[in-house]
Homo-oligomer: A and B are copies of this chain.
Amino acid sequence: MGLTKGTVSRALNGYPDISDRTRHRVARAAEEMGYRPLAHAQAIRTGRVRSIGLVLQVNEHDAHGPFLTEFLAGVTRAASAENWTLAVSTADSDRDMIETIERLVNERKADGFILPRTRSDDPRVTYLREHGVPFILFGRTRVPAGCAWFDILGEHAMRDAVVRLYRLGHRAIAFVNAGEEYNFTRLRHQGYLDGLAQVGLHPREEYVRGNVRKSEDGRRATESLLRLPVPPTGIVFATDEGALGAYNAARSLGLEIGRDVSVIAYDGIPEGKYAQPRLTTFSVDTRAAGASLASMLIQRIRGAAPEDLRQTAPAQLMVRGSDGAPRYGAEELGHRIAGNLNFRKQWEKHK
């Protein structure tokens, strides 16, 4: 009893000039009365609110939807373990994004930020770097100076997908990429090319599509691929969502996914498990990613050098039903598709 608040504070924070006896006494008393220092009272002196900032882009097509819960679970788990919390906000444009971050910084609602969906030229990075606010990227960047990051090796997944299709017997393998604004896009494209090189297939420009964001984009891209004179028998998708569009394209051309044409994608969204046939995909452990990002950001805020905070992890292949040995060769497949289209045309004329 009868210790000054200063002594209590030092005892709780492990200062060396406190005897073990007093330290235990304080710890026990705090425990008994359920005392926890008010975070904002600490912050006024320490300058840290022990809070991670996360601003979600919500304008366009909702990019995080399926992953969000898992991601938040990972982040908050890791943050809680260090007694930190998470401040979430949303923005519907780049301007709004910067303003939102600015507000969180100025009022010190967050000590640093996790930046999901790294873009090629990212205004968030520009702003935060300029203002000396710590941050960590989910996804690598082209200009890495001063940046910490965590990323999944999507390019390896793309490469392995090509190799897998090749081993299943495919010799005409196409690639459908995501929107160009993201940094991972060119990496995945490179991974596709690496895969072709590894198995000794020549890259063909007409086998590559890009800027697929929604599943409808994926449908169009797939249809244009399958209507080529010599269509691909296997298609690698940079995202699950794009691949789900392929199901509609295949249906409208009278094709069966997994038999007539094989599909391998990337992300591991739940919808893939409900597709018919179930989508073979490279799944990302989003929860683990969130946890890594959170604890790395905390280290960064505590002063670790960004160069020491760069990690990558592999995606894990989930073999399901959308890929298999090709039923026909590419030329043969082309003829079948032409036949199907012709039949449909006749039938519609007949009506």
Contacts and interface: CB of A to CB of B under 8 A. Distances in A.
A64 B56 contact: no
A103 B109 CA distance: 17
A34 interface: yes
Contacts of A108: 38-40
B90 A72 contact: yes
Contacts of A68: 65, 68-69
A274 to B, nearest CB: 7
Contacts of A66: 65
Contacts of A106: 34, 36
B89 A85 contact: yes
A107 B69 contact: no
Give the size range of A's interface with the partner. Answer: 35 or more
Nearest to A108: B38
A76 B64 contact: no
Given A38-B108, A109-B39, A72 B85 contact: no
A68 B37 CA distance: 32
A140 interface: no
Contacts of A56: 69, 72-73
Interface string A24-43: 00000000001011111101
Q: Which 5 A-B pairs rank lowest in CB-CB distance, beginning with the nearest? A: A40-B40, A36-B106, A40-B43, A39-B107, A58-B73
13 contacts: A38-B107, A39-B40, A65-B65, A68-B68, A68-B69, A76-B88, A76-B90, A80-B89, A80-B103, A83-B107, A85-B87, A85-B89, A88-B88
Given A40-B44, A80-B100, 4 more contacts: A36-B103, A39-B108, A65-B65, A76-B88
